[in-house]
Amino acid sequence: MGNLVSPEELLCQAEYMKKCEDILKSNFSNRQPICYVHSYGCQGNVADGEKIKGMLAQMGYGLSNSAEGADVVIFNTCAIRENAHDRVYGNLGMLIHYKKKNPEMIIGLCGCMVQQDHVAKKIKDVFPGVNLVFGTHVIHKLPEFMYNILSGSKKVYNIVDSDGVIAEGLPVVRESKFKASVPISYGCNNFCTYCIVPYVKGRERSRSFDSIYNEVKELVDSGYKEIMLLGQNVNSYGNDLDSGVNFSYLLSKINEINGDFRVRFMTSHPKDATKELIDTIANCDKVCNHLHLPVQCGSDKILKAMNRKYTVSQYLDIVDYAKKKIPDISFTSDIIVGFPGEIYSDFQETLKLIKEVKYSSLFMFIFSPRKGTKAELMYDPIPKEEKSKWLTELINCQNEISAEVHANCVGKIERVLFDGIGRTDDNMLTGRTDTNLVVDCKRANLKIGEFADVRIIKAHRMALIGELV
């Protein structure tokens, strides 16, 4: 925890926020300036985006849901696969069009994508309309960057290479009034050979137990019903702290906080998923019976090439232990299809594994070579069309499994936290069970942001239908 941003630095940034506020008051005498912040990619990025919004709101910006007409637009980018890059470049084109109508518009890019040198260079060369580019290790300095721009700098580029820092106490505007994400660690030490994250987010660093605990307590006290603990690998939480706390301890202490709420977490690296963790989930009533446990592939040969540090049999051991200890537990996972060196028989082992685990749902991706990773340089002879066929086969197989998992819920009573209006029917609300399954239910007396017990009366492939009990 030696890499905390100092209180002096945070104070200095708070002063920049005040200075920005003063400039904005004189620049916008008839209306409030507005900003639009969009985060691509993982929930960690969304959590960073909430802090970016928090800082901009403190400077005096109102928040908009659209880039059109905004005075500041910030894209918080993702680098995990090529299509994440493509989306940002596509949307940047649209922003440049808006900027023609409003030349004063400030366009900012931050996050994982711009942390890569080749991307920062491309932005400079191809998108001169972008005013502000800042990397993943300096988000807390946004007030200073904004001050520089508001006081006349045409461009601010700040991308430092760093093992990473932790900035506590930044202002935050949360997307939801009842579901909150709480990062418990940042960065990653695992260097899976396909993955860009360790290069762009720095080394793994855990927030202190007290900071996390106090944040969760405050959220629960102010009425939040679901807390999502976030980290690239929550299971190695605390390894870098001197205090001796680990993830299971953190979960059990959060479980003791008074209040009607539930706790989720992601992501669990299988190599660090212990029986202690499973026992903790089993013993903690507020910790949800759901494990997102990305397996990536069902072939030991490919897992080794991915540097995942577990075998299929070790993975299944922990899954079996969890199924015995927590009979209604549900599993989800990430799968990469077409990793370099993977042949059809390896892929069939993935199919075998998903049939055995019976995941409720899967995130499935075709391997995307990332610049600077080991896998980028690996021999990869299988054509994209072949990989796409495998992906389709995987999706079809998982669809059947998802249908079976959902069908098995019919007749059960589930506690659901409702979080939105039904996707196909305004008279329905949608929510999630403790096991993270989607349930749609007639609106009746239900309220968004509240729990209710429902009986599952019907199952679709990816969602359940319930009725209030």
Partner touching 368 among ligand 5AD, ligand SF4, none, CB below 5 to 8 Å by kind: ligand 5AD
Residue 391 CB, nearest approach to ligand 5AD (Å): 11
Residue 446 within binding range of ligand SF4, rule CB under 6 A:
no
CA distance 36 to 96: 14
Mask for 71-100, x = binds ligand 5AD (CB under 6 A): ---------xx-------------------
Residue 365 within binding range of ligand 5AD, rule CB under 6 A:
yes
Burial-class residue 381 by CB neighbours within 10 Å (0-12, 13-18, 19+).
exposed
Nearer to ligand 5AD, 81 or 262 (CB): 81
Partner touching 233 among ligand 5AD, ligand SF4, none, CB below 5 to 8 Å by kind: ligand SF4
Buried b (16+ CB within 10 A) or exposed e, 67-96: beebbbbbbbbbbbbeebbebbeebbeebe
Binding-site member from 238, 270, 294, 298 for ligand 5AD (CB under 6 A) = 294
Residue 192 within binding range of ligand SF4, rule CB under 6 A:
yes
Mask for 260-299, x = binds ligand SF4 (CB under 6 A): ---------x------------------------------
Binding-site member from 195, 281, 357, 416 for ligand SF4 (CB under 6 A) = 195
Residue 356 has φ and ψ, to the nearest 5°, of: -75, -45
Q: How many CB atoms are located within 10 Å of the residue 327 CB?
A: 9
Binding-site member from 246, 296, 332, 361 for ligand 5AD (CB under 6 A) = 296
Chain centre to alpha carbon of residue 12: 29
Tokens of 372: 């600077």
Let me know: does 273 contact 312? Beta carbons within 8 Å.
no
Residue 440 makes CB contacts below 8 A (sequence gap 6+) with 422, 423, 425, 428, 429, 430, 463, 464, 465, 466
Mask for 237-256, x = binds ligand SF4 (CB under 6 A): --------------------
Nearer to ligand SF4, 131 or 233 (CB): 233
CA distance 156 to 163: 22
Residue 367 within binding range of ligand 5AD, rule CB under 6 A:
yes
Let me know: does 360 contact 405? Beta carbons within 8 Å.
yes
Residue 130 within binding range of ligand SF4, rule CB under 6 A:
no
Nearer to ligand SF4, 158 or 190 (CB): 190
**Nearest residue to 431 via CA among 40, 459, 440:** 440
Mask for 294-333, x = binds ligand SF4 (CB under 6 A): ----------------------------------------
**Nearest residue to 329 via CA among 273, 379, 384, 373:** 273
CA distance 6 to 183: 19
Residue 454 within binding range of ligand SF4, rule CB under 6 A:
no
Residue 162 CB, nearest approach to ligand SF4 (Å): 17
Nearer to ligand 5AD, 225 or 370 (CB): 370
**Nearest residue to 206 via CA among 236, 173, 180, 178:** 236
Give the count of residues interacting with ligand SF4 (CB under 6 A): 10
The single-letter DSSP state of residue 104 is T
CA distance 201 to 210: 23
CA distance 346 to 326: 30
Question: Hey, which residues between 182 and 241 contact ligand 5AD (CB under 6 A)?
Answer: 194-195
Nearer to ligand 5AD, 49 or 431 (CB): 49
Burial-class residue 104 by CB neighbours within 10 Å (0-12, 13-18, 19+).
exposed
Residues in the chain: 469
From 12-20, 142-150, 360-368, 393-401, give the range in contact with ligand 5AD by CB under 6 A: 360-368
Residue 192 CB, nearest approach to ligand 5AD (Å): 7
Residue 334 within binding range of ligand 5AD, rule CB under 6 A:
yes
Residue 362 within binding range of ligand SF4, rule CB under 6 A:
no
Give the count of residues interacting with ligand 5AD (CB under 6 A): 12
From 123-131, 187-195, 279-287, 455-463, give the range in contact with ligand SF4 by CB under 6 A: 187-195
Tokens of 309: 């540090």
**SS3 (DSSP) at 441:** strand
Q: Which residues bind ligand 5AD (CB under 6 A)?
A: 80-81, 194-195, 294, 296, 334, 336, 365, 367-368, 370
Q: Which residues bind ligand SF4 (CB under 6 A)?
A: 188, 190-192, 195, 197-198, 232-233, 269
